[in-house]
Chains A and B, each alone.
Chain A
Amino acid sequence: MAENHPDTELIPYLRGELSPDERARVRTHLEGCAQCRESAEESSAIVSNLARVVDDVREPDWADYQRELKRKLRAAQAGNAGVRGRWRWRRADVRLPVFGWPSMAMATAAVAVLAIAIVMHRGSGGSVQAPGVDQLELQQELSSADVGLLANYHVVEHLDLLENYDVIEHLDELEPGDRQNHETPS
């Protein structure tokens, strides 16, 4: 009967790994079972040849192997230290696309829709609307005090802002179009 053959015990038997009782039982079986004897002999040959396969492995240049190993070890250590520091950042970074980017995209889309709606709303009026109160005040300020600054723009465009801060500060005191007084500020 197949289940009585000590198949899994043949190699341990050959290697002397079995307890005395097990060993005696397998030995007795082998004496009466040609099939298992043949199996044990073939297995023994295979094991012997396997050792030869392993012995045939071509060895590397060990000095080179160790240099490479040290380099890898340093890299692994640096990587581990970096990973510990980066991990939280990475988690946050990873979460952004998952939770942050959709929100940001939705917000951007909402702003875009709002902007388009405003532009379309203004455009749909057909006529130029009257300026609001704020806009009027701004226009008044420009037309009074700052017109002088704008009129002397040709002075500003030739100045070094840091070195001629005084000139800029008193620019509104210049007469409009006064080119002579600004060329060499002292």
Chain B
Amino acid sequence: MVEPSDEELCRRIAERDADAFELMVDRHQGRAYRLASSILGNEADARDVSQDAFIRLYESAGRFDGRSRFSTWFYRILVNLCIDHHRRNRWWRRLAPLASPGGGDDPDERAFDPPSGEAGPEGEAMLKQSVSRLRPALEKLSPQQRAAVLLQTQEGFTSREIGEVLKCSEATARVHVHRGIAQLRKLMGND
């Protein structure tokens, strides 16, 4: 049986088809949650915001005009919610450092996680350390840069699609990605 496309599901959701909505959530919940978690750096917030994005999807499915890919349209909703959430909570974030996903809150502590052994003990440990340093560095990017970088690395979006999500030109999206990566390189180099 051929799986319905996202666009087809979206059309059915606009007609208040509960099964279509359930299938859509099943299909996108993991990616949406991971992206929100990476942008927000907080699992509880990622849960709330990604669920809000699905609720927005349900409410506004009728407005999807099919001119862009469904994923571009949906991730625009999600990323905007993440950026709004980040803005609303900016004052609080200054007081309470973001909890790191995937484990304890102390990056240094996670840097000494036992290696898995798949890439050799030393290589795996170095990789984990590098990843654990990258996570807090990611938090230092602007929400737009972070979203642009993550949409590219996680979702495989092109610069044009990132521009559609962030409502900017393709050239500006490239600048966001470039500056984000350059900032990460700088932060990793300074550590």
Chain A residues packing against B (C-beta within 8 Å): 7-12, 15, 17, 39, 42-43, 46-47, 49-54, 56-60, 62, 65-66, 68-69, 72-73, 76, 80
B-side interface residues, number (CB < 8 Å) = 45
Given contacts A58-B102, A69-B25, A76-B59, 11 further A-B contacts (CB under 8 A): A11-B181, A15-B158, A17-B158, A43-B181, A46-B181, A53-B131, A54-B153, A68-B51, A72-B55, A73-B55, A76-B55
Q: Are A57's CB and B38's CB within 8 A?
A: yes
Q: Is the interface of A mostly helix, strand, loop or mixed?
A: helix
A53 to B165 alpha-carbon distance, docked (Å): 22
Contact A60:B181 (CB < 8 A) given known A8-B175, A66-B25, A76-B59: no
Per-position 1/0 for B16-34, Cβ under 8 A of A: 0000001001100110011
Q: Are B184's CB and A46's CB within 8 A?
A: yes
Q: Which 4 A-B pairs have the closest CB atoms?
A: A8-B174, A56-B102, A50-B153, A8-B178
* CB closest residue in chain A, given B54: A69
Q: Are B37's CB and A46's CB within 8 A?
A: no
Contact A59:B25 (CB < 8 A) given known A17-B159, A46-B185: no
Q: A47, A49, A57, A80: which has the most chain B beta carbons within 10 Å?
A: A57
B135 CB–A CB distance under 8 Å: yes
* CB closest residue in chain B, given A12: B159
A contact residues around B58 at 8 Å (CB): 73
Chain B nearest CB: distance from A39 CB in Å? 8
Contact A42:B185 (CB < 8 A) given known A53-B138, A58-B103, A76-B59: yes
